[in-house]
Each structure stands twice: as C-alpha cells, then as structure tokens.
Structure 1
Amino acid sequence: MENKEGTFYSFFVKPMDSLLHFFADKFNGSYGLAIILITVLIRLVLMPLMLKNYKAQQEMKVKMDALRPEMEDIQKRMKEAREKNLPKEEQMKIQQEMMGLYSKHGVNPLNMGCLPLLIQMPFIMGLYFAILYSPDVKTHPFLWFSLGEPDIIMMLLAGLVYFVQARVSLWTMPEQQKQQMKMFIYMSPIMIMFISFKAMAALPLYWAVGGLLLIFQTYLGRKFYYKEVTAANVDLTEVKEDVQKIEEELEEDIKKADDKKKK
C-alpha cells in the first residue's frame, strides 16, 4: 500500500520522485541513468562531511598509533591483574590509567565516524520508496535488468564493490581499530547482498555506484590527510610522563579511600 502522506514522504520521497522523473526526461527516459546521477549528487553533497570525517580519523590514527606502546603496556598489566586475581581496586586503577591517557591526548577509540552513514539513510530510503511508488520506474529496463526486479548480477556487483570499499576504508583507521573492524569487511557486503537478493535492482545499482564513489572519496582523504606516524606527531616522553602522573594520582586516590574506610 502506498503511503503518500506524512513528513518523510513530503521531505524525502516526493523530492526524490521529482528528481527521478526530471533527470529521466533529460536522459531520454532512462531511469537507470537518473538513479546514477542522483547517487553522484548525494555523494557530492556529502563529500565535504566525508572528507572532514577522514581528516578526524587520520588524526585519531596518528595519536593511537603513537600511543600504542604505552597502551599495550597498560593492556598487558590489565591482563596480568585479571590472571592473578588482584583486588578489583587494583584492576580499576589500571583501567583508569588507560582512560586517563585517552582523555589527556583527546583519543576516542569509539569514534567510528558513523555520522555520514546516518545522514545518507533518509536519502536512500527516499529514493527507494520513490522507485517503489512509481510504476514507470519499476518496469523500466536498464542495461540487462529491470529496475523493479531483483537481479543476481547486480547483487554480486554491489557486494564486490562494498567488499573493496571496506578494505580501502581501513587505510584511515588506527591499528587497534583495524583489528576490531576486520569482521565488518565481510559483514557489510554480506548484508548488502542479503538485502539485494530480494530487493529491486535499483537498490544494488545505487549501492554499487555509491560504493565506487566512496572508494574515490577515501582515496582523496588519504591523499590530502595521510600522515606518517612518527614520534614527532605525539611527544612520547610526554606520554610516559602522563602515564606516570596518572598512576601517582590514582594511587593517592586509592590511599585516601582506604584511609576513609579505616576511619
């Protein structure tokens, strides 16, 4: 059932429907080319935000890679504390050292840069429903497939493009995040192929074109913002001093807490 009412339809579906028909008229009725052009426009609009995100990720990568020796030392001590069943206060102290180090140097390991993905979702859904609600688009043939019917080849192409895109996206991530994100290299294309298996071929067409543009954007981000990780990027002497200072502060806090308990 078509729902052509509400805020989402008015702000996203209806404009996408108008754009689809407008560009299709310019391309002699080709809705496939219209979808490709709309995809390019969406990526161009999001490009400044994406590049800003790549810059922030690269700065985070430099910091985390430079801090890695100290972080690995803290993680090793945390593991040993658990294995030796040391008091929870001692384990908490070591964990707080890590948090203090992150805070001191402005490192946020959970910052995965999801904002650009979230921003584009309404546009993707708007385009999807604009195609769904348009009989002309659903029955339109493009290349070897119909835009309104599932297509195995487009499903595989979209999955392949996003597999490459996921691999390329690792360029801008710190080593620790690379290890955590490896599973997403396979999860992302698998999810896209799973959805595309029964979805209209227009959707994997959008994903395939969008994925190629994402690869290009990642290349631009690497070209403009790539930095070699060196000791000059982060003062390692200062880092060691910070860790020592944090340890001293935590020991003092624990001592004060113990004194209060005794009283």
Structure 2
Amino acid sequence: MKRFENILKRIGPLPLILAVVALVIIVIASVTFEGHIASHSFWSAIVAAFTSAILGTSAWFGNSYGIGIIIFTVLIRFLILPLMVYQIQSMMKMQVVQPALKALQAKYPGKDTESRQLMMAEQQALYKDAGVNPFASMLPLIVQMPILIALYQGIYNSPVLRSGQFLWLQLGNRDPYFVLPILAAIFTFASSWLSMQSNPEQTGITKAMPYIFPVVIFFSAIAVPSALSLYWVVGNLFQTIQTFFLQNPFKIRRQRELKAEKEREIQRKIRKAKRGNKR
C-alpha cells in the first residue's frame, strides 16, 4: 500500500485526473454507439470496445471518422499518461546512476563468479540509495502495449472506419501524397531526439535510434491504410509534446550544468581551505 501511495505521489494529480476524464469519455463514446460489433473472445471484445468508442466519438462530429480517430488517439494517450510519467521518471533516475554503474563495471572487470557477485551486491546498494528500480520502466511499457495494439487492430479491422473520407484521404487506402508517412517520421524523430538529448550517457546505438525509428515508421506508414497512418501521426505528435514537457533536455542540461558548477565551486573552496591550513 505504501509503495502504491509513493507511485501516486510521484505521478502527481494532473496526469491521474486527465486519465480518469479520458476513460469516462471513452466509456461514454462506446456505450452511446448505436451499432453492434461482434466479438468471440476476450481479446476481440476489447478490440470491439475500442472500435465502438472510435465510432461513437466519430458520431459526435457528424460521422467524421478521421476526427474520431484523432480524438480517440488523444484520449488513449491521456489514459496511459500516468504510466508514461512513471516510466520517464524511472528512466531519468537510471540515467543519473549510469556513471556510477560504469565505475562499478570498471571496478569489477573480471568475469569470474566472485566478481559478478560483488558487482551485483554493490549495484543493488546503489539502486537502493538512489531509489531506483531497474525494472520499473518496463512495467508501464508492458501495460500500455495491449492498449495500443487493441487500438491498432480496432482501426485496421473496421470496414466502417476504413471506408471513411477525411480531407484528401480515403481512410482505407494509402496516403497518395505521402503526407502522413512524412509527418509520422518527423514526429517520431522529434520525440526520439528529445528523449536522447536528456541522456548524459550516449552510446552508438542510442545516437542512431532517432534516425532509425523514423525510417521504420515512414515505410510502415506507406504500406498501411491512411487510418493507421493518421493514428501514428497523432500519437507521435502527442509523444513529442509529452517528451518536451516531461523530459525537456534543455532544462535537464541546465540543471546538470548548475549542479556540476556547484560541485566544482565546493571543490575549489576545499582546495583553497587546504592551502590556507598548510600555511
């Protein structure tokens, strides 16, 4: 119970309020949908609920399925926002202890059992002192993936959604002008780049990720119906805005620079005091 209260305290009230509001709107949209979507299993029932919620949301806007997909994607993002806040906070804590972890790896370079055990013991002590759970960032990802997959399948498997028109798009066909794939790639790059910039310890892989993901998303968006490309564009735009506010690399860098400057100032005062004592 105490751990749960600590998690709620870390997340804060605003993401939780937004998640509750989003959930209420999703439920209302689903139950007010006048049609029926067949389901034959627990998973298909979840997908059907998501599809009916999208169609219900679309009905509020004159059966504009494009707007329905946009609104519902935003609602889903608000629904999982508490998980994302918790995940980002856990990742940032892990980034802080990375230099200390590297120092431990240098301290115990051996691959024998004793060295590994000593390193693991000191590693666990380091995590405990810093209040870090190395697996905490994985839990939100595991929880949110079924939600996003159900949303994906709800859009992909709905003939009604795919038959809709939105702007220049036939939602069941590919974007003829590649606008959505380009936007999806741009927002994916922006989100990945912002996230990477806040990490003080960057490897070759982490530096390459902001350039690899957009390419994957671009070619994926080319190959799927516009309804899914629209979902990716809106979701990745939301992710970019979310990353900027929750993981602002410019703010984080300034904080690290100020902290490093304070530490250097303390060391200068210590050295000055030692020289004074010697005299």
TM (norm. structure 2) is: 0.65
Give the drift of 1:26: 0.9
Alpha-carbon separation, structure 2, partners of 1:180 and 1:104: 28
Corresponding position of 1:228:
256
1:120 corresponds, among 132, 136, 144, to 144
Say which SS state the counterpart of residue 245 (structure 2) adopts: helix
Deviation, structure 1 residue 50: 1.0
Q: What is the deviation of 1:8?
A: 0.7
**Separation (CA, whole Å) in 1 of partners of 2:248 and 2:192:** 18
Deviations 1:26-61 (A, max 9, x none): 111211111111111111111112112222222222
> Hey, what does 2:275 align to over in structure 1?
none
Residues in 2 aligned to 1:50 and 1:117: alpha-carbon distance in whole angstroms: 8
- Helix, strand or coil: the match of 2:225? coil
1:8 and 2:29 matched: no
Once the two structures are superposed, what CA deviation does each residue of 1:164-210 show, in whole Å capped at 9, x if it has no partner? Answer: 1111111443415x544233323322332232222111112111111
After superposition, residues 204-243 of structure 1 pair within 5 angstroms as: 204-222=229-247, 226=252, 227-228=255-256, 230=259
Distance 1:24 1:205, change over 3 A: same
Query: Aligned equivalents of 1:61 and 1:48: distance in 2?
Result: 20
What is the CA-CA distance between 1:111 and the residue it aligns to?
4.9
Task: Determine the structure 1 residue equivalent to 2:103.
Answer: 70
Asked if structure 2 preserves the Cα contact closer than 8 Å seen for 1:57 and 1:172, the reply is no
Aligned with residue 167 of structure 1, among 187, 193, 201: 193
Can you list the C-alpha shifts for 1:62-94, whole angstroms capped at 9, x where unaligned? 2224x26734743xx83xx7xxxxxx64xx655
| Whole-angstrom distance in 2 between the partners of 1:138 and 1:69 | 50
Per-residue CA distance 1:72-130 (angstroms, 9 max, x = gap):
743xx83xx7xxxxxx64xx655555434422210779659344443333233323333
- TM-score, scaled relative to structure 1: 0.69
> Contact 1:57–1:173 (CA<8 Å) still a contact in 2?
no
Could you say which structure has the larger radius of gyration?
Answer: 1
Question: Could you list the runs of 5+ residues in structure 2 that have no partner in the other structure?
Answer: 1-36, 264-279
Secondary structure of 1:29's partner?
coil
Partner of 1:141: 165
Sequence identity percentage: 29
May I ask how many residue pairs the two structures share in their alignment?
Answer: 217
Relative to structure 1, the CA distance from residue 126 to residue 222 in structure 2 (aligned partners, 3 Å threshold; closer, same or farther) is closer
Closer, same or farther: CA 99–40 of 1 in aligned 2, 3 Å: same
Within 5 Å, give how 1:180-195 maps onto structure 2: 180-195=205-220
- 1 or 2 for the larger relative contact order (CA 8 Å, sep ≥6)? 1
AA at the equivalent of 1:159: A
Q: Distance in 1 between matches of 2:181 and 2:229?
A: 6
Whether 2:124 is the aligned partner of 1:103: answer: yes
Whole-Å separation in 1 of the counterparts to 2:138 and 2:228: 21
Does the 8 Å CA contact 2:195/2:247 hold for their aligned counterparts?
no
Task: Specify the alignment match of 1:155 in structure 2.
Answer: 181
Residues in 1 aligned to 2:124 and 2:213: alpha-carbon distance in whole angstroms: 31
Which amino acid letter does the alignment assign opposite residue 83 of structure 2? L
Q: What is the one-letter code of the residue matched to 1:99?
A: M
Q: 1:5 to 1:47 in 2, by over 3 A?
A: same
Q: Is the 8 A contact 1:162 1:211 kept in 2?
A: yes
1: CA distance between counterparts of 2:142 and 2:234? 18
C-alpha spacing 1:183/1:95, structure 2 compared with 1 (3 Å): farther
Give the secondary structure class of the aligned counterpart of 2:247: helix
Change (3 A) 1:95 1:204: same
Q: Distance in 2 between matches of 1:109 and 1:56?
A: 7
Change beyond 3 A, Cα 1:114–1:142:
farther
